[in-house]
Amino acid sequence: MPRRAIRYIIFAYISGSILYANVFAHLLGKKTELLQCSEDGNPGTANAFKYCGFWCGVLTLAGDLAKGFFPVYLYLHDAAVRDSWALPLVIAAPVVGHAFPIFHRFFGGKGIAATFGVLLGLYPYGTPVLLLAAAFILLSTVLRVDPTFYRTITAYLLALAYMAFIRVEPQVWAGFAIVTGVVCLRMHMSKEVREKPEVKLLWRH
C-alpha cells in the first residue's frame, strides 16, 4: 500500500478521534451535563442535542459529519493516490476513531453521524448514504423498531445487505461492512439500558 494512502488512513483515524460533543460542550459550559446527565455517557450528536442544547447539538453534528467527510473526499480527489483498495480503510477510519478515539482512552461515541459523514464524502456517488438514510426512515416511520439500540443495528445491517444486493462498488461495500461491524460493536459496549425489542407496523396503530 502506498505511503500516501497510509497517511490518509492515519489522518482519517485522527480526525475521527476528535469528539466534537466534548469540545463544544466544554466551550459552551455544558461538559458536566454531557458527562453526568446522559444515561450512556456517549459523547455523540444525540446526547449533545439532548443534554447540552440546540447549538451544541448543531455544532457537534457539523463537526461529526465533517470529520468523516473530508478524509474520504480528499482521498478520492487526490490524483497522486493510485491504490483504490485503501478506500475501505479510509472510509472506516473516521468511524473507528470516533468509536475508539486515541485522545480519550479509546472510549468514544457510536459513530452514526460520522458514518453519514464518510458516506457523504463519496460525493457525487450518493447511493450508500441514501440507502442508510432510507433504512433509518423505514425503521422509524413504516416498520417501527424500538428501542433505538435495535433500530440502529437493524438499519446498518439492512443497508449493508441492500448494498450487496444492488452491487455497489466493492471497495465502498467493504468499507461500509467494516463501519457496520464497528458501530454494532460500539452499540453492544454501550452502557444504555436495553429494553425488550419491539416491532410495530405504524399504519395499524
Which residue pairs from 38-44 have beta carbons closer than 8 angstroms and sit at least 24 positions apart in sequence? Answer: 39/191, 39/192, 39/193, 40/190, 40/191, 40/192, 41/191, 42/109, 42/110, 42/190, 42/192, 43/19, 43/104, 43/108, 43/109, 44/98, 44/109, 44/110, 44/111, 44/112, 44/113
The pTM score is 0.90
Rounded Cα distance between 115 and 22, Å, is: 18
User: What digits encode the pLDDT tens for the residues 66-89?
Assistant: 999 999 999 999 988 866 789 999
Of 29-43, 55-69, 139-153, give the lowest mean pLDDT range: 29-43
Task: Kindly state the percentage of the chain with pLDDT values over 70.
Answer: 90
What SS3 state is found at 87?
helix
Q: Which set of grid coordinates corresponds to residue 111?
A: 459513530
Residue 63: what pLDDT?
96
- For the segment 85-132, what is each residue's pLDDT rounded down to a tens digit? 899 999 999 999 999 999 888 888 899 999 999 999 999 999 999 999
**132 in Cβ contact with 183 (< 8 Å):** no
Q: Can you tell me the mean pLDDT for 162-184?
A: 95
CB atoms within 10 A of CB 199: 12
pLDDT over 80 (residue 35): no
The per-residue pLDDT of the chain, averaged, comes to 88
Residue 204: is its pLDDT beyond 60? no
